[in-house]
Amino acid sequence: MYKKTRKKRLKMEAFQTACLLLGPLVFYELCTEAAMAGCSLFAEHAKNAQIRSLLSGSEAGLVVTGAGALLAFPVLFSVYRNLTKMQVLAQNAGMLQLQKSTQRTAGETLQKTEKNRSDGRNRFMEGCFFAALTGIGACLCLNMVLQVLFAPSTGWSRVQETIYRTPGALRILITVVLTPLTEELIFRGFIHKGLCMYMGTRLSVIFCALLFGLYHGNLGQGVYAFLLGICLELVTVWSGRLAPAVFLHAGANMAAAAFSVAAAYVRQVSQIPSLPDRLSFGNLPVLQTQTAVILAAAGFLVAVTSLYKTKEVFEKV
């Protein structure tokens, strides 16, 4: 009887763990599919050619991603907030007896609490700032290194083309706001916490970053996402919050969008025949390699320094 009960309990725990780890990701994909169907339907009835092209053309992929994130985020955030409240209530119940036994005056406790909150809030925002700088530096470094080591794949080129063709304001909204919020809620909120319950912090950091890389599909983007995922995992572990990871992710995506625009501008300028030889990028492969190495070194320096400062700040919060 005991063995049957224990086996049943283990099956239930395994099912709950699978739902916690994969459920949010599956739900996000379903929302993305629903957004794709909605965009296609709306494009068929749209009279404006620009809107029709935006929803059904080559740039529709980013719009669909943003619409899927917009559909999924409110539901996922509500579930995550309720789970967090349950965990906080359980922790508070355990701390209640300790608080009752503490002998301090109410005035001293209130004064120290308010001071700690103010200092903690300022340090937290400082940590988020350095996390965003880490994302910018990591994006610059990884993009330059991968450009030298890997030939551009069809999938990665298609992703870059889709991002570049999307209008600027919409591109920023999707890549800097909606996507970081939703993906960090899924990977660092649900999956990371679920993995930490069943394996050590180090293994959960590596495994969650690996899942983050695999989720992005093609090889170049997958390697980039895995290495960036390590940074995202580290700031989540150090801070114990999701916001620093969101800022880091947003900084990386903002930098990637800016680099794609800058690269397109350089390509356009390099094709102008009236430019002098020394400005016409005549020896383009060599110049690209040299520039990529310099930019990669600069990005690595910014990323490592900012990541160290992020850890230093959150250790004092």
Q: pLDDT per residue over 141-161, tens digit each?
A: 998 888 777 666 555 556 666
| Percentage of residues of the chain with pLDDT beyond 90 | 36
Both tokens of residue 186? 């899924």
User: What whole-number distance in Å separates Cα of residue 81 and Cα of residue 155?
Assistant: 35
Distance CA 201, CA 204 (A): 5
**Mean pLDDT score across all residues of the chain:** 78
How would residue 276 be classed by pLDDT, with cut points 50, 70 and 90?
Answer: very low
Chain CA centroid to CA 7, Å = 37
Q: How far separated are the first and last CA of the chain, in Å rounded?
A: 49
| pLDDT value, residue 14 | 58
Using an 8 Å Cβ cutoff, are 218 and 155 in contact? Answer: yes
Checking phi first, is residue 281 left (phi over 0); if not, alpha (psi -120 to 50) or beta?
Answer: left
pLDDT in tens, 240-266: 999 999 999 999 999 988 876 676 666
Q: Which amino acid belongs to residue 176?
A: V
Report the predicted TM-score, pTM, of the whole model to 2 decimal places: 0.81
CA distance 129 to 36: 34
Which residues lie closer than 8 Å to 283 by C-beta, 6 or more apart? none
Measured in degrees and rounded to the nearest 5, phi and psi for residue 154 equal -65, -40
Q: CB–CB of 213/222 below 8 Å?
A: yes
Q: Minimal CA–CA distance to 302: which of 177, 142, 147?
A: 142
